[in-house]
Amino acid sequence: MTITERFLKYVSFTTTSDENTKMTPSTPGQLVFAQYLLEELKSIGLQEVDLDKNGYVMATLPANTNKNVPTIGFISHMDTSPDMSGRNVKPRIVNNYDGNDILLNDEKVIVLETEKYPEILQYKGQDIIVTDGTTLLGADDKAGLAEIVSAMEYLIAHPEIKHGKIRIGFTPDEEIGQGADHFDVQKFGAEWAYTMDGGEIGELEYENFNAATAKITFQGLNVHPGYAKHKMLNSMRVAQQFASMLPRHETPEHTEKYEGFYHLVGMEGTVEKSSLTYIIRDHDRDRFDRRKKEVQHLVNKINAEFEENTATLEMRDQYYNMREKVEPVMHIVDLAFKAMEAVGVKPNVKPIRGGTDGARLSFEGLPCPNIFAGGHNFHGRFEYVPVQSMEKAMMVIVNIVSILEAQ
């Protein structure tokens, strides 16, 4: 099976995660996909293939060398983002892309425009897998899955490529921040690993946001509007006031690179009770802590202006910047750098404006930089992945293990 065939098979599974179910995996489709992967990994010849009760898949490619080589791992996630439907994905391959706009859906007139997405022009002449414009594609992270499985199959077919013991792990629910919740680092048994979960070709990342979520609930008092003077407290207006107190340009649409933000991701409300849900992000731990303190400060200001407990805050940290755990073992980043160069890929070391399973795993004792999976425009209808980028990512995996054995 080619990597393209494998990827197209994977995106046929509906694996959208859902943070509201309180289950692991959060949706049944992920478990169906995990069971498929379980059988596929057995069929290509991997050993110690295991699917646990929480939907985590692990497997081993045994060493084929007598050298004392560290055991390393490769990890990807099985779920797709709930930001857009991942059901009935209808991928299409645009062979020998000509550099023009791509009509994704004739009936709905959905067009992937080069003016809006100029990055696609660098893939002129390549084969690009796109959606039909009604769903996301699922390259995040089924491209990563296909690359890892295809790399293992390639190594099995080429025993002349010497390598140490390799562990692979596939996780559920990464897109809702729960991918590492039940990942058994000790059972995985690797000295370090790489998540194949980055974007365009060449991306190599060992820095990510520090992340927290904050939900502010506003309690109001409803009175008939005809008789409400000096009595009513409209919780939606208080929520609106709170939102306006945050820096208006410190939002995702106004920030880039190492700039952090406050991002309003949910709002509900009636006169009597309303809530705002934010995610808070910053690469720098001190700035991250100041952002959290600012949210608490603004909650206190609301309560000082209105009645006590008009606003209540629930806030929790989600993950931290893996840089502080990876920097002491930078040789693992250098190894990935060399592997990219060996296959003609120019490494693009950059911070992740988000997070991966690897961020949390790094703090659990498994340093875990992130390598490109090749896709663009994740989580939406204009998602695409060049076939050649997936092929290069597969060979980066192969070269990581071969270079490590040769050292």
Q: What tens digit of pLDDT does each residue of 153-195 get? A: 999 999 999 999 999 999 999 998 889 999 999 999 999 999 9
* The predicted structure's pLDDT at residue 354: 80
CATH number at residue 149: 3.40.630.10
Same domain, 141 and 39: yes
Q: Is 52 among the catalytic positions? A: no
Which residue range(s) make up the domain with 277? 210-319
Same domain, 76 and 143: yes
pLDDT tens figures, 327-354: 999 999 999 999 999 999 999 998 888 8
CATH number at residue 289: 3.30.70.360
Six-digit token string for 233: 């407290």
Domain limit, last residue, from 303, 319, 335? 319
Domain limit, last residue, from 271, 292, 319? 319
pLDDT tens figures, 270-282: 999 999 999 999 9
Six-digit token string for 274: 């309303």
Domain count, the chain: 2
Q: For residue 19, name the pLDDT band (cuts at 50, 70, 90).
A: confident
Same domain, 52 and 113: yes
Residue 357: is its pLDDT beyond 90?
no
Q: Among the options 174, 175, 383, 391, which is catalytic?
A: 174
Mode of pairing for the β-strands spanning 348-349 and 203-205: parallel
Same domain, 309 and 325: no
pLDDT tens figures, 288-315: 999 999 999 999 999 999 988 999 999 9
pLDDT tens figures, 124-157: 999 999 999 999 999 999 999 999 999 999 999 9
Domain limit, last residue, from 259, 291, 319? 319
CA-CA distance, 66 to 405, in Å (whole number)? 10
pLDDT tens figures, 321-331: 999 999 999 99
Same domain, 288 and 331: no
Q: Is 197 among the catalytic positions? A: no
